[in-house]
Structure 1
Amino acid sequence: MIIVTTDSVPNQQIKELKGYVKGNTVQAKHVGRDILAGLKGIVGGEIKDYSDMMTEARQIAVGRMVEDAKKKGANAIVAFRLDTSSVMGGASEIIAYGTAVVVE
């Protein structure tokens, strides 16, 4: 699956639009991670557990978007975007979305 943030794929022609595709996941913080994050907040620096959690969440969301595009018969996704939002205290949603297309 080709995934680009642009409206077209370089050196490819869009033959067919398949439509909007998306994938999302909601990730909640872990109490143990919160304790370590609180300590990091005092001394500063990256909170690696949260970075790892969000990396995994992005991978899940993108994977679900790709599956959505495959079901529609696409071989590429253009105008790809990632977005995040807080859905409740301690939980964030990651959504990956774009336009599924067939390119040649």
Structure 2
Amino acid sequence: MIVVTTEHIEGYKVVDVKGPVFGLIVRSRGLGGDIMAGLKGLVGGEIMQYTAMLEDSRKEAIDRMIKNAHQMGANAIIMMRFDSGEMGRSMSEIVAYGTAVVLEKL
């Protein structure tokens, strides 16, 4: 599956637009992560636990988006983006979205 943030892919043409596609994940930080973040916030620096959680969440959101596109019969996703937000005080939402298309090599 080709996944790009651009509208066009050199050497390919879009022959069918399947529609919007997304992958969503909501993760909780957990009490241990909140305590470590609070302590790290006092001295400054990167909070590695949150960084790892967000990286994993983005990868999972992309995997879910790709699975959704496969089910729609697409072989590529164009204009891929991420969005994120918080739900409550301890949950993070990550969504990967784009347009599922069928590409043909020129």
TM over 0.5: yes
Task: Please say if 1:52 is aligned against 2:52.
Answer: yes
Q: Which runs of 4+ in 1 moved over 4 A?
A: none
Give the percent of matched residue pairs that are identical in Structure 1 and Structure 2.
46
For structure 2, list consecutive stretches of 5 or more residues without a partner in the other structure: none
Q: CA deviation at 1:69?
A: 0.2
Report the TM-score when normalising by structure 2. 0.94
Q: What is the deviation of 1:3?
A: 0.6
Whether 2:10 is the aligned partner of 1:10: answer: yes
- C-alpha deviations, 1:27-49, integer Å up to 9, x for none? 11111111111111011110000
1:80 aligns with 2:50: no
What count of residue pairs does the alignment treat as equivalent?
A: 104
Write the distance in 1 (CA, Å) between the matches of 2:45 and 2:10: 39
**Aligned-CA RMSD value:** 0.8
Query: TM-score under structure 1 normalisation?
Result: 0.96
Q: Counterpart of 1:13 in 2: which secondary structure? A: strand
| Deviation, structure 1 residue 92 | 1.1
Q: Distance in 1 between matches of 2:33 and 2:46?
A: 13
